[in-house]
Amino acid sequence: MTFKLETERLILTVPSMQDYDNLLSLRTDPVVMASASNEGSEFGSGKPQAPEQVKEHIELAQGYFDEYGLCFFCVFEKSTGNFIGQAGLFHWCYKLDQPDIELAYRLFEKYWDKGYGTELAKALIKWGLNDRKLPRIIAPVHPDNIRSVNVLKKAGMKFDGKINHKGVILNNYVIKNEEKNSL
């Protein structure tokens, strides 16, 4: 069975090899990658991923979803079918030996300021807390990334201190399952 999560304007699907060209374009875009903080990338480096890294991400995505029920999904506009980026919930930095589940998203720049980040964050939080029964969801973000800070606040997440990601100190936003009624 194919998994699909829908919002009012967007469709999220588990990455497959059919998504390779889209993901390669996204993950080699220096503007997009400048704010990447997961999957072993250097936070804020703007460092694009190599084609092999993109292929590895796709190859691991379905198995990770099958085992953990979480994913860094591909995101498409419903109205156009256009690939706009990725969003999802997954173990923080894909470290399976710790309990934190991270909310993350990355969208092509032309899709910024359309409310998609907030729409995605709210939908993923609702899905994660209600359907996946997660105890809490975190979202580490660089303090200078005001757009993402605003998205996380609009989605109901609250500042919960600092978190160290490979030597970079990030603001950590959190929402707990008992807070889901405030969404």
The answer to whether residue 57 is domain-embedded is yes
Q: Report in angstroms the alpha-carbon separations of 101 from 76, 82, 115.
A: 23, 27, 23
The answer to whether residue 69 is domain-embedded is yes
List beta partners, residue 10. 77
Q: Given a cut of 80, is residue 1 above it in pLDDT?
A: no
Q: Which of 158, 148, 157, 176 is nearest to 34 (CA)?
A: 148
The string of pLDDT tens digits covering residues 89-138 is 999 988 899 999 999 999 999 999 999 999 999 999 999 999 999 999 99
Q: Which of 57, 41, 56, 54 is nearest to 142 (CA)?
A: 41
Per-residue confidence band for 40, with pLDDT thresholds at 50, 70 and 90: very low
List beta partners, residue 176. 136
What's the pLDDT score for residue 67? 95
The answer to whether residue 16 is domain-embedded is yes
The string of pLDDT tens digits covering residues 146-178 is 999 999 999 999 999 999 888 888 999 999 998
Phi and psi at 108, nearest 5°, equal: -60, 145
The answer to whether residue 32 is domain-embedded is yes
The answer to whether residue 68 is domain-embedded is yes
Asked whether the beta carbons of 38 and 104 are under 8 A apart, the reply is yes
CATH code, 92: 3.40.630.30
DSSP 61: H
The answer to whether residue 161 is domain-embedded is no
Q: Round the average pLDDT of the chain to a whole number and report it.
A: 90
Phi and psi at 106, nearest 5°, equal: -150, 130
Q: Which residues contact 16 (CB under 8 A, 6 or more apart)?
A: 58, 61, 62
Asked whether the beta carbons of 105 and 86 are under 8 A apart, the reply is yes
| Predicted TM-score (pTM) of this structure | 0.91
Domain limits for position 33 = 4-134
Asked whether the beta carbons of 21 and 28 are under 8 A apart, the reply is no
Domain count, the chain: 1
The answer to whether residue 14 is domain-embedded is yes
Other beta carbons within 10 angstroms of residue 126's beta carbon come to 16
What's the pLDDT score for residue 43? 41
Per-residue confidence band for 38, with pLDDT thresholds at 50, 70 and 90: very low
Asked whether the beta carbons of 151 and 117 are under 8 A apart, the reply is yes
The answer to whether residue 30 is domain-embedded is yes
Give the angle subtended at the CA of 32 by the CAs of 168 and 158, to the nearest 5°: 55
What's the pLDDT score for residue 174? 97
Q: At what angle do helices 20-27 and 51-68 cross, to 10 degrees?
A: 110
